[in-house]
Amino acid sequence: MALDKVAKRAKIKRRIRKNVFGTSEQPRLSVFRSNKQIYAQVIDDNKGVTLASASSYKNNAVEGKNKTEAAAIVGKDVAEKAIKAGVTQVVFDRNGYQYHGRVKSLAEGAREGGLKF
């Protein structure tokens, strides 16, 4: 029986999260992509705390940009906030999405912002 799109992504997400875990030294950079917006969080899973977050929602810097360009700006923004919080190295959690398009653009933007994966 074929899985629908949401169930398929949830299955991939569980498989990724078995191996990807954020610690205090190397938190997890988690990405959520909706149809219109993109969100990123730097999470310490040991404490259950979000250290930094950024999104394209109500972000003046992404006005007039396409979604891929907006994702790169969000990546740089989350990297800047994470560095202010004392984080330089993260583990990337693509959250079941393909490493392609907006997710890839966000990751490259975070690398440009100074985060190491």
**Domain range list for the chain:** 5-112
- pLDDT at position 1 is 56
Whole-prediction pTM value?
0.89
Assigned architecture for domain 5-112? 2-Layer Sandwich (3.30)
Torsion, CA 15, CA 16, CA 19, CA 22, rounded to 10: -140
Band of the pLDDT at 24, cuts 50, 70, 90?
Answer: confident
Distance CA(24)–CA(58), nearest Å, equals 29
Helices (H), the chain: 5-19, 67-84, 102-112
- pLDDT at position 56 is 94
